[in-house]
Amino acid sequence: MLWLRNPLAIFVDGDVDAGGGIVVCDGKIRQLVPCGGQPETACAVFDASEHVVLPGLINTHHHFYQTLTRAHPDAINRELFDWLTALYPIWARLGPDGLRLATRLALTELMMSGVTCSSDHHYVFPGGLEDALDIQAEEAQALGMRMVLNRGSMDLPQKDGGLPPDSVVQDRDTILADSERVIARYHDACEGAMLQVALAPCSPFSVTRGLMRDTAELARRCGCALHTHLGETHDEDAFCVERFGCRPVDYLEDSGWLGDRTWLAHGIHFDDDEVARLGKAGVGVCHCPTSNAVLASGTCRTRELEAAGVKLGLGVDGSASNDSSNMMEGVRHALMAARLRYDATVTHRDALRWATAGSAACLGRSDIGAIAPGMQADLALFKLDELRFSGAHDPLAALVLCGAHRADRVMIKGRWTVEDGMPVGVDVERLRHEHGGIAKLFG
């Protein structure tokens, strides 16, 4: 049993008094100690008086393999469709060693920014990479990170009117068979799960309507969530109208996806009626502010989506359209983007909520994303000892407004996975060298 005593500040709901800290036992939060109080039971003590404590951040959309093609000269300064067509042939060279190192680096980078659970949308399967999800599961388990393995897919190649080249797509039977295999092997629906599986056809311009429908049915039978890109660009709207005769949300509903097990990446270009329909259905949206800015895609309608009942989470998106895997940076960008769209009544607490409880709701998790008794002991602790924080008076606001980007400590399921700013058991210099070496092959 461990008492994180007297934190500098703590992000909890409402008027809960947790000024005295948090008691952790057997991987869960046992007690919130009020200011000046003591734990109910004798504990070991960690002095948190220099730390701002957050629920572990939850990243609900990413593409780990893209860490190998950050700031790639063939793709910079392009919008989404041109960016994709430039990079697909390069990603077609991805192999097991590259994916393993890309996954390891992305997970490590995320964890160092305060992430305790991440979803990854892997949809590129060139020949020889059939075991992609197994590689990712192994890396998450080795690092101690919670993860949602998104068994992504593409079955609409360029020759049939889609965007991806033939070399990175699979046929529908192969996709569905491997989806069932991955679910059977890795999906844990229990409280406190470390690995779960979602089924994730990539986007309207890279998958067939048949695959969307079959995937929805498989997810329903297996109790899995559904994830895809939707509403990201006006080009996507035009593609859907031309190919399917309807807008993206209509396409989603026709495919059997309009339900509370679905969460969408981006969700920028929904009209008022579509926002209302998504909220009524209980759909989630992962807001990706940094990627949306880099690709000039637009700004998510966060206020309208939440008002309609949409579950709103946060994601860094792929490290070739971000180009980092830093969730705290994404929190800051989410706040700035929302204030530009609306006004200063969007607060730092809103942005932190999107990255924690909102993201947990997108993933269908009620056991992570908040600091409360009974919740999993997933925590991110930040110090305010850098020059950027000097003179800051509100510690929670300072994390967002002054640009925190690196956690001092991270706890997942009651175990420290980051100590003194460094990931436990990871040789960061070696990882940087090995990852950088293999990335050169994609130049």
Average pLDDT over residues 179-193: 98
Average pLDDT over residues 339-365: 98
CA 308 – CA 273 distance, rounded (Å): 10
For the chain, which residues make up each domain, given as ranges? 2-55+375-423, 57-362
* pLDDT given at position 284: 98
Identity of the residue numbered 314: L
Q: Is the CA virtual torsion 399, 55, 352, 359 positive or negative?
A: positive
47 sits in which H/E element: strand 44-47
| Tokens coding 38 | 């003591």
CA 311 – CA 170 distance, rounded (Å): 31
What b/e string do you get for 432-443 counting C-beta neighbours within 10 Å, with b at 16 or more? eebbeebbeebe
- Residue 34, Cβ neighbours under 10 Å: how many? 13
Question: Could you give phi then psi for residue 287, rounded to 5 degrees?
Answer: -80, 130
* pLDDT given at position 14: 82
Average pLDDT over residues 170-174: 97
Look at residues 110, 15, 3 and name the one whose alpha carbon lies nearest to residue 63.
110
Average pLDDT over residues 93-110: 98
3-state secondary structure of 397: helix
Average pLDDT over residues 345-368: 98
* pLDDT given at position 390: 98
**HSE-CB of 228 using CA atoms within 13 angstroms:** 29
| Tokens coding 69 | 């093609």
CA 423 – CA 420 distance, rounded (Å): 8
Percent of the chain with pLDDT over 90: 98
**Following DSSP, what letter does each residue of 232-251 receive, concatenated?**
--HHHHHHHHHHHSS-HHHH
CA 121 – CA 398 distance, rounded (Å): 31
Dump pLDDT digits (tens) for 200-251. 999 999 999 999 999 999 999 999 999 999 999 999 999 999 999 999 999 9
- Name the β-bridge partners of 284: 263, 311
Average pLDDT over residues 311-327: 95
Name the pTM for this structure: 0.98
Average pLDDT over residues 431-442: 97
Percent of the chain with pLDDT over 70: 100
- Segments of 297-401 assigned E as strands: 311-314, 379-383
Reply yes or no: is the peptide bond before residue 323 cis, omega within 30 of 0. yes
Dump pLDDT digits (tens) for 244-289. 999 999 999 999 999 999 999 999 999 999 999 999 999 999 999 9
Burial of 237 (0-12, 13-18, 19+ CB in 10 A): middle
* pLDDT given at position 15: 87
CA 92 – CA 79 distance, rounded (Å): 20
Chain centre distance of CA 353: 14
Overall fold of domain 2-55+375-423: Urease, subunit C; domain 1 (2.30.40)
* pLDDT given at position 42: 85
Look at residues 147, 317, 297, 169 and name the one whose alpha carbon lies nearest to residue 231.
297
CA 250 – CA 277 distance, rounded (Å): 10
Dump pLDDT digits (tens) for 367-424. 999 999 999 999 999 999 999 999 999 999 999 999 999 999 999 999 999 999 999 9
Look at residues 314, 397, 396, 253 and name the one whose alpha carbon lies nearest to residue 110.
314
Q: Predicted confidence band at 297 (pLDDT cuts at 50, 70, 90)? A: very high
Residue 72 reports pLDDT greater than 90: yes
Average pLDDT over residues 85-101: 96
| Tokens coding 406 | 């690196």
Q: What does pLDDT average to over the chain?
A: 97
CA 84 – CA 75 distance, rounded (Å): 8
Average pLDDT over residues 314-327: 94
**57-362 — its CATH code?**
3.20.20.140
